[in-house]
DNA sequence: TTCCAGGTGCATA
DNA sequence: TATGCACATGGA
């Protein structure tokens, strides 16, 4: 994909492998705002970027362009990935066409851990609202937005504080996990193999197999992960199953078996495809 | 009113 | 190892 880094922006010269709506609304990121048409503001940790659609692509404005070059995974060739997936499976052919501009973001590990603990048995709209509340409650005031809280900032909250915010039964998970992560270098985990990483993440309160997969995928770019939630279970049984399965461990095993090191990509194209069809009441 | 949402932890057999 | 249940909340 063609792009260049200018003084004040990254200029994306492509609309096939980069689409702001697909990237932000496919469920991998919770802090963003639509500011009209295909233009968005998004936040990661204490950083902000604006995506503005241009005639031939998009401009990404930020005061940390290198961070967002990596964040948007700009060096990866997605056209090859889509091609490979399309050839493997007819549903993927439709899904990669539908969400052609999706890219798997490289997000901040701590933010992903807390956000996906909040995601358990919750809906995306509510997750977004809770993550925003958490940032406003104890994140650093950056002037025009609030940064996602640091470990130290979250340590100041009690379980009751989190419950009042609306975290419900997840309040104690967040509290316990933040305490456990105190002083932990989360970047170091990126050197672990996928299975080792998942094993460590699963020791955190509120992190089971599905949430661990999401963290490994969206914070550590582990593409041999296939998070299986209620939507993926529906997708599997609609398009992939030879027999109906409800055991998510088994569903994951089958899907990773099929898509191997492209699992993370496949999962996200399918997730976006199915949810948008459902939203628009299309079978 | 009931069901559902990017599930997890825990008790029980 | 596998199954069943409770858990907060708000929108459809």
The predicted-structure confidence for A72-121, as pLDDT tens digits, reads as follows: 999 999 999 999 999 999 999 999 999 999 999 999 999 999 999 999 99
Q: What is the pTM of this model?
A: 0.98
- Pairing type for strands A47-53 and A40-44 reads antiparallel
Quote the tokens at residue A104: 């798997």
* Distance of alpha carbon A61 from alpha carbon A54, whole angstroms: 12
Separation of CA A221 from chain center: 10
Containing A154, the helix (H) or strand (E) segment is helix A151-155
Identify the band that residue A126 occupies on the pLDDT scale cut at 50, 70 and 90.
Answer: very high
Rounded average pLDDT over A37-50? 98
Distance C10 C1' – A187 CA (angstroms): 35
Helix/strand number for chain A, H first, E second: 14, 6
pLDDT of residue A280: 81
Burial A4-37 (b: 16+ CB within 10 A, else e): eeeeebbebebbebbbbbbbbbbbbbbbbeeeee
Give the CA A227 to C1' B2 distance in Å: 28
pLDDT at A281: 76
Answer for A226: CB within 7 Å of strand B.
no
Structure confidence at residue A282 (pLDDT): 78
Instruction: Give percent of chain A with pLDDT exceeding 90.
Output: 98
| Lookup: tokens for A249 | 């461990």
Catalytic residue selected from A21, A210, A222, A274: A210
Closest-lying nucleotide for A213 based on CA to C1': B6
Whether residue A153 has pLDDT greater than 80: yes
Q: Average pLDDT for residues A203-208, to the nearest whole number? A: 98
Report the C-alpha gap between A194 and A134 in whole angstroms.
Answer: 29
């Amino acid at each position: 994909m063609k792009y260049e880094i200018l003084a004040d922006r990254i200029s994306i010269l492509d609309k096939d492998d980069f689409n702001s709506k697909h990237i932000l609304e496919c469920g991998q990121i919770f802090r963003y705002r639509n500011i009209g048409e295909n233009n968005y503001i998004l936040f990661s940790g204490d950083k902000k970027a604006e995506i503005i659609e241009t005639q031939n692509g998009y401009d990404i404005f930020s005061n940390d362009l290198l961070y967002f070059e990596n964040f948007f995974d700009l060096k990866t060739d997605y056209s090859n990935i889509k091609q490979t997936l399309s050839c493997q499976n007819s549903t993927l052919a439709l899904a990669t066409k539908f969400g052609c501009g999706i890219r798997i973001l490289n997000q901040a590990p701590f933010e992903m851990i807390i956000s996906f603990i909040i995601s358990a048995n919750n809906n995306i709209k509510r997750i977004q609202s809770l993550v925003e509340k958490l940032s406003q409650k104890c994140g650093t005031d950056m002037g025009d937005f609030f940064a996602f809280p640091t470990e130290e900032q979250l340590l100041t909250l009690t379980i009751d504080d989190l419950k009042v915010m609306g975290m419900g039964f997840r309040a104690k998970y967040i509290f316990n996990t933040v305490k456990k992560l105190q002083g932990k270098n989360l970047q170091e985990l990126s050197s672990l193999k996928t299975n080792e990483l998942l094993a460590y993440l699963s020791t955190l309160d509120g992190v089971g197999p599905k949430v661990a997969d999401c963290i490994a995928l969206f914070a550590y770019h582990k593409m041999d992960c296939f998070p299986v939630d209620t939507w993926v279970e529906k997708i599997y049984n609609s398009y992939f199953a030879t027999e109906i399965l409800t055991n998510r461990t088994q569903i994951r095993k089958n899907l990773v078996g099929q898509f191997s090191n492209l699992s993370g990509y496949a999962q996200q194209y399918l997730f976006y495809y199915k949810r948008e069809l459902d939203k628009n009441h299309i079978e």
